[in-house]
Structure 1
Amino acid sequence: MADIIQLLPDHVANQIAAGEVVQRPASVVKELLENAIDAGALTIKLIIKDAGKTLIQVIDDGKGMSETDARLSFERHATSKIRTADDLFQLDTKGFRGEALASIAAIAHVELKTKQEGDDVGNVIVIEGSNVVSQEVVVTPKGTSVSVKNLFFNIPARRNFLKSNTVELRHVIDEFQRVALAHPDISFALYNNGSESFNLPVSNYRQRIVNIFGNKTNERLVPVEEETEVLDISGFVGKPEFAKKTRGEQYFFVNNRFIKSAYLNHAIASAFDGLLKNGTHPSYFLNLTVDPQTIDINIHPTKTEIKFDDEHTLYALLRSAVKHSLGQFNIAPVLDFERDPNLDTPYDYKNNTANVPKIEVDRSFNPFQDDTQPKTRTTTTTTYKKEPAANWESLYVGLESKGTQTDQDFSEVHFESEESTPSIFDDEKQVESGNTTHQLHNKYIVSTIKSGMLVIDQHRAHQRILYEELLKNMTVKEAVSQQLLFPLQLHFSAQEITIVKQLKADLENTGFVFSNIDEESVEITGVPVSVPESEVSIILEQLMSDVENEVPDSSFSATDLLAKSMAKSLAIKTGQSLQKDEQEHLVNKLFACKEPNISPTNRSTFITLSVDELDKKFL
């Protein structure tokens, strides 16, 4: 029988490896930025076109490569970071597996320009689908420039799985921000389709956070510092009042490497216990420095998950450090037994003695005695005069127990307010008028129908009603707006401002009026009639989160997504009590919708229970 096992060709093996290393344009950005940092660069530029699908270029001023190193860098498992297997447990660099450039070159057109500091000229290598097209001498500045064009050009199936440019650009910016936050001592710049999105000079860690997320972030940060034998913690956490409904601004860095850890995230959440509103998440930017021998980095293809030797100790240290910082800066209530200078005696009263009041009792006082002459007694400080008591029997004149006048007076007593408790069985007027809706646990509306009963989820039903109304307003463009007495100014990051600009036209069709949109803030002078002013920031935050995370593919409708997001934010919540007319109105509006059966998120809005089903429950 013939042998059936064979070695795969190099270009096929490279494409398989590329499936692990390169999942989307953001993966290429991450690998190239990390290589630039390992090369000792002080200035790094990232140039993006069409969210990285057309071009990804990283330019650095690092030490560069020789002619031989430039050619070897595209071979599989070729790296300068490790020599032996033991080096895997002493890592202080970023890319170390030697698969990044080989995998990228297998699925894209790559051009590499590099020059070392002592050389007169550099080298340029052009590779297309793992095939070296040319390698020549070129005049180029010191450092390395890598251009990745036409990603997945030879794997169209993988290219079809990419999301829209908006989603892919968000992932690229996320990777850029993670690397930039981990290295504030390096200057970074990002150019998207010819325009500058970020320009981050060398700065301290706090200023780097402010440069990325906006100037208003500065006043929201609480520093965290802790040094122990096991772990060094430094960075910042956000104040509880600025917590967001999304987890966007949550960053853990272990030895200057971004990681994701649900376990450590729980430690932060427990430190904020009792300080956050329901459904909100704290912001944090924390650097953890541990012994490289106590962690294993290479357990995940993207190296964003790390295995710790002693997670329980890290959990306790992290939780206590954050809790201590919140208490130290008066963010959280603490028990402090030290003297509070605010409670000191003012200077004017510091040397004065307290005046002790004198208490005297008139033992001869009789309230029922009819005194004709007032008695007076004088003390050193106060004079008291006893008034004669009136004839106390006259107080009861006219209060006979049996009198028509008394009965008449009490019959006209009106109570200020009296709480009424509706009853399902005794309210005959309600049944006669056809009002048969009842609210159950402030969550469901129960109504009777001919075949049985109807149970409606009030939150989902209201979502469906608002969704169709908003869609109609955006399509017909006849939304009603209410002007604000004072303009509302909201502050967002540069990435969020970009999303607002993209959705501005659709938002204006719903009733929003924007007077000014600059690099860090949005000024609103009008809102839709159904939107309270206090809910505007929550609605916009939820909308931006939905645009970033919930876009299904490149063929989505921005108008549809906007209507869904706003309906979700504006719908009445579970636990809200509704009056009878509000319940009836909700039911009537629901069944006037085109698709009353499901909510905008494709969930059932109501269920029916027939009489037969109810009868079976009593068998």
Structure 2
Amino acid sequence: MSDIIQLLPDHVANQIAAGEVVQRPASVVKELLENAIDANATEIKLIIKDAGKTLVQVIDNGKGMSVTDARLSFERHATSKIKSAEDLFLLNTKGFRGEALASIAAIAHVELKTKQEEDDLGTAIEIEGSVVKSQEVTVTPTGTSVSVKHLFFNIPARRNFLKSDSVELRHITDEFHRVALAHPNIAFSFYHNGSDIFNVPQENYRQRVVHIFGTRTNEKLVPVEEETEVLKISGFVGKPEFSKKTKSEQFFFVNQRFIKSPYLNHAINSAYDGLLKDSYHPIYFLNLTVDPKSIDINIHPTKTEIKFDDEHTLYAILRSAVKHSLGQFNIAPILDFDDQANHFNTPYDYKDKPVETPAIEVDRTFNPFAQEKIPVSPFSGKSVVTTKHSQTGFKSSGSGNSWESLYVGLESKSNNSDSEFSQMTFESEAKDSSIFDEAAIETRKSTFQLQQKYVVSTLKSGMLIIDQNRAHQRILYENFLRHITIKEATSQQLLFPLELHFTPNEIGIIEGLQSELEHTGFVFSEMQDKTITITGVPVGVPESEVSMILEQLISDVENDVPDTNFSTTDLLAKSMAKSLAIKNGQSLNSAEQEHMVNSLFACKEPNVSPANRPTFITMAVDEIEKKFM
């Protein structure tokens, strides 16, 4: 039998390696930015065209490379970061595998220009699909410039799997945020299709967070500082009232490397226990510094996951540090018995006044049997005999006969009712707002509410039990879908424009959905880099719910990442229905219950919610009778 195992050609092996390193343009951005940081650059410029599909260019002012190093950098497993296996556990740099440039060059057109400070001239190399097209001397400033053009030009299948430009740009922006936040001592600039997206100078960590996520972020931050023998923590967490529906502002950095850790994230959530609303997430920007020997960062191709030697200790320290910061800045409720025992809350007016001994005064002229006549009823000219007390104003019943004076002036008001009450007005009773139009509803006692969660109704064959939240989601979903499709929505104008603040990334998501949102009834008067001004909302949508609706929409878009107009429209309708549907625990009157039943079965698909979960169940009489057997 002939041999069947053979060595792969270099270009095939490079393409396979590229599949691990480069999934999308954002992967190229990450690798090139990290190489620039390892080159000790103080200024890094990122230039993108067509969301990275046409061009990804990173320019830095680092130390550059020699002629030999420039050529070797495109070979597989070529790196200046490690020399032995032991160095893997002493890493303080980013690109240590030595496959980034080789993998990128295998699937794109790459042009490299680099020069060291002591050299007069630099080196320029052009590579297409792992094939070196040219290498020559060139005039270039100190540092390195890497241009990656026509990504996946030789792998059409991989290029077809790329998402829309808006989605790919969002991934690139996320990678830029992670690198820029981890290195506030480096100046970054980011350009897309000639537009300036970010331009942040060298600054401290708080300034870097505010520069990237907007000036309103400054009031949300609570500093966290803790240093132990095992772990050093620095950074910020968000105040509970600024928690978000999305996890877009959650950042862990271990030794200046962005990581994802559900375990450590759980430590943060436990520190916020009792402070957050349901389905809301805290924001945090935390830097963790640990001994490189105690972590293994080589367990995942993208290096976003790290293995810790002692996760339980890190969990306890991180949870305690965050909880202490929230309590220290009076964010979390605390009970300090020592403070309560030794200090009194003195009003400001009495703070500096001397303490005086209370004096006892006795009215020696007080006569409990003395009486005087004073007018009592403002509606009659009669006077009432009351007992005269001391100057304190208290009155006693006096003699036993004076109780009759209490009823003087309370005669029938039929004679003077017109003069006495002609000017009196009565306040109307408050009316509770209803989520349904009660005028169009026939109220019948055929339904009732169970546990403020289910609506129970009768059927000829038995009993119908409806989940009120899922049913209302289905009703709203079909209404919104119809409005977006037909483009006939009614909007209610706001008395005062509503100004909401989001990150540039979130603003981009809302801009992409602006036309669909307007078809549902939203009216946008202005969209800036970090601010949205709304002058109109759909009928029936409370102004206080607008921010929550948009946050839920952003979260759904980031999780589902739609590409087609149909899925975008469908996702928008689902997101708004989920935000505005009545919640479990909300009480409904008989009219609202009846209207919900009728509206649900008027839907095209009443059986399931927009998330394909059942909206109701039925129980036949036979099933009920079996329960009594």
TM-score range, shorter chain: 0.7 to 0.9
CA distance in 2, matches of 1:256, 1:543: 31
Question: 1:402 maps to what in 2?
Answer: none
Matching of residue 92 in structure 1 with residue 92 in structure 2: yes
Classify 1:542/1:383 alpha carbon distance in 2 versus 1 (closer, same or farther; 3 Å). closer
CA offsets, 1:472-492, max 9 Å, x none? 222333211112222211111
CA distance in 1, matches of 2:584, 2:329: 36
- Which amino acid in structure 1 is aligned with residue 195 of structure 2? S
Question: 1:562 maps to what in 2?
Answer: 572
Matching of residue 327 in structure 1 with residue 337 in structure 2: no
Q: Decide which of 338, 349, 353 is 1:350's aligned counterpart.
A: 353
CA distance in 2, matches of 1:183, 1:154: 35
Question: 1:573 maps to what in 2?
Answer: 583
Asked whether the equivalents of residues 234 and 288 of structure 1 are also in contact (C-alpha less than 8 Å), the reply is yes
CA offsets, 1:283-340, max 9 Å, x none? 1101111111111111111111111111122112111111111122111222343465
Q: Decide which of 447, 468, 489 is 2:499's aligned counterpart.
A: 489
Deviates more, 1:119-128 or 1:65-74: 119-128
Question: 2:531 maps to what in 1?
Answer: 521
Classify 1:556/1:201 alpha carbon distance in 2 versus 1 (closer, same or farther; 3 Å). farther
Asked whether the equivalents of residues 113 and 125 of structure 1 are also in contact (C-alpha less than 8 Å), the reply is yes
Classify 1:311/1:360 alpha carbon distance in 2 versus 1 (closer, same or farther; 3 Å). farther
Question: 2:449 maps to what in 1?
Answer: 439
- Which amino acid in structure 2 is aligned with residue 343 of structure 1? T
CA distance in 1, matches of 2:387, 2:145: 106
Offset, 1:581: 1.2
CA offsets, 1:42-100, max 9 Å, x none? 11111222222222111111111111111111111100000111111110101101111
Offset, 1:517: 2.0
The count of corresponding residues between Structure 1 and Structure 2 is 577
CA distance in 1, matches of 2:571, 2:443: 40
CA distance in 2, matches of 1:443, 1:121: 75
Deviates more, 1:331-340 or 1:119-128: 331-340
Deviates more, 1:289-298 or 1:148-157: 148-157
Classify 1:391/1:549 alpha carbon distance in 2 versus 1 (closer, same or farther; 3 Å). same
CA distance in 1, matches of 2:544, 2:216: 19
Asked whether the equivalents of residues 113 and 140 of structure 2 are also in contact (C-alpha less than 8 Å), the reply is yes
CA distance in 1, matches of 2:52, 2:624: 59
Offset, 1:525: 1.7
| Aligned-residue identity in percent | 72
- SS at 1:447's partner residue? strand
Question: 2:157 maps to what in 1?
Answer: 157
CA distance in 1, matches of 2:144, 2:198: 21
CA distance in 1, matches of 2:24, 2:566: 19
CA offsets, 1:184-239, max 9 Å, x none? 01111111222111111111100100010000001111111112221111111111
Deviates more, 1:51-60 or 1:281-290: 51-60
Deviates more, 1:460-469 or 1:328-337: 328-337
Deviates more, 1:190-199 or 1:348-357: 348-357
CA distance in 1, matches of 2:545, 2:621: 42
Superposed, 1:23-172 pairs within 5 Å as: 23-172=23-172
Question: 1:369 maps to what in 2?
Answer: none
Offset, 1:462: 1.4
- Which amino acid in structure 2 is aligned with residue 161 of structure 1? F
Superposed, 1:245-324 pairs within 5 Å as: 245-324=245-324
CA distance in 2, matches of 1:97, 1:504: 43
Asked whether the equivalents of residues 165 and 554 of structure 1 are also in contact (C-alpha less than 8 Å), the reply is no
Query: Mind listing any 5+ residue stretches in structure 1 that lack a counterpart?
Result: 367-373, 398-416, 418-431
- Which amino acid in structure 2 is aligned with residue 145 of structure 1? S
- SS at 1:343's partner residue? coil
Classify 1:478/1:119 alpha carbon distance in 2 versus 1 (closer, same or farther; 3 Å). same
TM-score (structure 2 length as normaliser): 0.85
CA distance in 2, matches of 1:438, 1:84: 74
CA distance in 2, matches of 1:314, 1:96: 26
Matching of residue 468 in structure 1 with residue 471 in structure 2: no
CA distance in 2, matches of 1:555, 1:524: 23
CA distance in 1, matches of 2:354, 2:127: 88
Classify 1:25/1:612 alpha carbon distance in 2 versus 1 (closer, same or farther; 3 Å). farther
Offset, 1:37: 0.3
Deviates more, 1:90-99 or 1:598-607: 598-607
Classify 1:7/1:451 alpha carbon distance in 2 versus 1 (closer, same or farther; 3 Å). same
Question: 1:195 maps to what in 2?
Answer: 195
Query: Mind listing any 5+ residue stretches in structure 2 that lack a counterpart?
Result: 370-385, 408-428, 430-441
Offset, 1:162: 2.5
Classify 1:360/1:8 alpha carbon distance in 2 versus 1 (closer, same or farther; 3 Å). farther
Asked whether the equivalents of residues 443 and 594 of structure 2 are also in contact (C-alpha less than 8 Å), the reply is no
TM-score (structure 1 length as normaliser): 0.86
Deviates more, 1:31-40 or 1:490-499: 490-499
Deviates more, 1:1-10 or 1:30-39: 1-10
Offset, 1:387: 4.8
CA distance in 2, matches of 1:383, 1:557: 77
Question: 1:404 maps to what in 2?
Answer: none
- Which amino acid in structure 2 is aligned with residue 538 of structure 1? M
- SS at 1:312's partner residue? helix
CA distance in 1, matches of 2:388, 2:553: 78
CA distance in 1, matches of 2:13, 2:92: 28
CA offsets, 1:414-437, max 9 Å, x none? xxx9xxxxxxxxxxxxxx986432
Classify 1:598/1:166 alpha carbon distance in 2 versus 1 (closer, same or farther; 3 Å). farther
CA distance in 1, matches of 2:551, 2:43: 33
CA offsets, 1:115-158, max 9 Å, x none? 21222222222222222222222222221111222222222332
Asked whether the equivalents of residues 41 and 60 of structure 1 are also in contact (C-alpha less than 8 Å), the reply is yes
Classify 1:440/1:255 alpha carbon distance in 2 versus 1 (closer, same or farther; 3 Å). same
- Which amino acid in structure 1 is aligned with residue 321 of structure 2? A
Offset, 1:440: 2.4
Asked whether the equivalents of residues 368 and 388 of structure 2 are also in contact (C-alpha less than 8 Å), the reply is no
- Which amino acid in structure 2 is aligned with residue 15 of structure 1? Q
- SS at 2:112's partner residue? strand
- Which amino acid in structure 1 is aligned with residue 561 of structure 2? V
Alpha-carbon RMSD across the aligned residues, in angstroms, is 3.0
Superposed, 1:509-548 pairs within 5 Å as: 509-548=519-558
CA distance in 1, matches of 2:155, 2:253: 34
Asked whether the equivalents of residues 167 and 549 of structure 1 are also in contact (C-alpha less than 8 Å), the reply is no
CA distance in 2, matches of 1:591, 1:354: 77
- Which amino acid in structure 1 is aligned with residue 313 of structure 2? T
CA distance in 2, matches of 1:439, 1:375: 59
CA distance in 1, matches of 2:261, 2:608: 36
Classify 1:549/1:253 alpha carbon distance in 2 versus 1 (closer, same or farther; 3 Å). same
CA offsets, 1:389-427, max 9 Å, x none? 3259989x9xxxxxxxxxxxxxxxxxxx9xxxxxxxxxx
CA distance in 2, matches of 1:446, 1:376: 66
Offset, 1:167: 2.1
